[in-house]
Amino acid sequence: MLNKVVWTIGAIVLACCIAVTFFVIDTELNDLEQSRSEPAVALTHPNVASSSPKPKQPDILTYWTNQEKKSAQSGYSEAAAAYQNRIAAYSAGLPSISPLTYDWSSIQSPSAEMELYLRVPMTTESTHLAKHEPASGTYIGMLGADRRVGYDVTKIEDVYGRKHALYLAYVGWRKVQSDTNTYFPTRTAERVKELGGALQIGWEPRFGLDDVLDDEYVRRFAREAKASGIPIFLRYASEMNGAWVPWHGSPQQYIEKFRLVHDIMAEEAPNVAMVWSPNFSPSNTIDDYYPGDSYVDWVGFSLYNTPYSADKEQLKGTVIDTFAPLYERYRHKPIMISEGAIAHTYLPTNQTYWSWSEGQLGYMYGLLPRLFPQVKAITYFNFSRAQAIRTNRAYVYDIGENPFIDGLYQRLIQSDWFISKVETGVDPISYRYTPVTGQSLPTGKQTVLVYPKLENERGEPPFAIAIYQGNQLLGASYEAPWEIDIQVNAESASEPWYAIAYNDKMEPTAVSKK
């Protein structure tokens, strides 16, 4: 479906550097969750069909208007000005353009390569679901290490506007939880249970694989996991493909130990789903560590996007470029982004990439789960500036410290696509997206999705994407996931379709035509 991405050595080095710092603090982390939305002012656009999948969501102009006010009240003057510019561009409307006669060669450097997808009914398949797997949709999860939540998972819904399904905690190997005298994070589990949630645990054999034994420590941990009475996703010894963790280096021994832990959990804790979770990079050694389908309930990936690679600014592309080849290899299993985030601040220079990170977040939460429907969970690694500085990190991921992604995250997770409670077999989505390869579109009312694969060096997504058939405008969208409701008339069904991307000056920057 998507072109395979070839990663540079610089990107691999960056991934290793990121993951090293993650490992250093992994054993310090524990908890998670929630948000707030503002009342909307009813505003409309005169000539474009709404692309919002949920009626209760404010339209894009209302959203921008509310965000402009919120940013101004919070002292984010640059963000407020940016929203004002968007409102002005939107109000000016799409330019009059004739796709059939426009000189497309005038676009010297296209901003995106666009692919069109059509919404079609979900086919009925009698597929076996893994432990805790939904039939469709994506669980939303979070590590609540951000400034506003501060590891108190009970705050996540109030802060982020929706209940989350998964809460991420890390557990050091052979570490006693002093407040409960347990090996399992019992106190965190109790709080998660009160929220009706599930717990994802990063369980890390920090003393190396030789110390992973069928002993009382592992058995007691399993029994305490069962006693928690909640769904557990056990991400045992993750990022094993990276040299920054002490359980890296011997794939065969890793497989042996993963299978051992699996068998103990199967015997002692039936509520535990085993998650095998490599880092997205280096990708060439991932397969060597796979324990086998019989031992893996879920496949997870650490997936991050940062504005620097090997100490050089690199903004081109998206997390989808990174993820696509991994998905193709493991799509026979339910997949989770077990931890992932978009960096918006580079601490060595204190340079911010607020607008860029907003666009990238749209790809992670808007497009990625729709293009890759086996992605059944995404957990955001919500880590504050203070925590990043304390642990000597290069990036800030905290959603609340960037007004653009703060608003967008809360907006995106309101979609019916995202699930707030872990329930095996829950099935909220009755459709899927299939690529449009021909010249024509089906007649009648349709919903299409446009995937703008970014080609520009600044990683700038389109401001607007419009669909035309011949010279007729069918509809437009101003936000990820670029879903557009259209009406295709029988008399014009044979006309070629065009997807046209516009910048915020309403200039065409890319076209995909059939």
Residue 257: strand, helix, or coil: helix
What's the pLDDT tens digit per position in 283-329? 999 999 999 999 999 999 999 999 998 889 999 999 999 999 999 99
CA 272 – CA 152 distance, rounded (Å): 23
What's the pLDDT tens digit per position in 261-274? 999 999 999 999 99
What's the pLDDT tens digit per position in 316-345? 999 999 999 999 999 999 999 999 999 999
**Angle, alpha carbons 349-354-359 (nearest 5°):** 130
Q: Known catalytic residues?
A: 239, 339
| β-pair partners for 476 | 466
Task: Indicate the burial class of 151 (C-beta count within 10 angstroms; 0-12, 13-18, 19 or more).
Answer: middle
CA 214 – CA 236 distance, rounded (Å): 15
How many other C-beta atoms are found inside a 10 Å radius of the C-beta of residue 244? Answer: 17
What's the pLDDT tens digit per position in 157-215? 999 999 999 999 999 999 999 999 999 999 999 999 999 999 999 999 999 999 999 99
CA 495 – CA 439 distance, rounded (Å): 8
CA 417 – CA 141 distance, rounded (Å): 13
Tokens of 327: 């998905």
Tokens of 215: 């002993």
Query: Which residues does 75 contact at the CB level (< 8 Å), separation at least 6?
Result: none
What's the pLDDT tens digit per position in 129-162? 999 999 999 999 999 999 999 999 999 999 999 9
CA 132 – CA 435 distance, rounded (Å): 29
CA 449 – CA 372 distance, rounded (Å): 13
Q: Determine phi and psi for 72, rounding to 5 degrees.
A: -65, -45
Among 332, 249, 236, smallest CA distance to 285 is for 249
What's the pLDDT tens digit per position in 99-108? 999 999 999 8
Answer for the pair 21, 391: CB distance below 8 angstroms, yes or no: yes
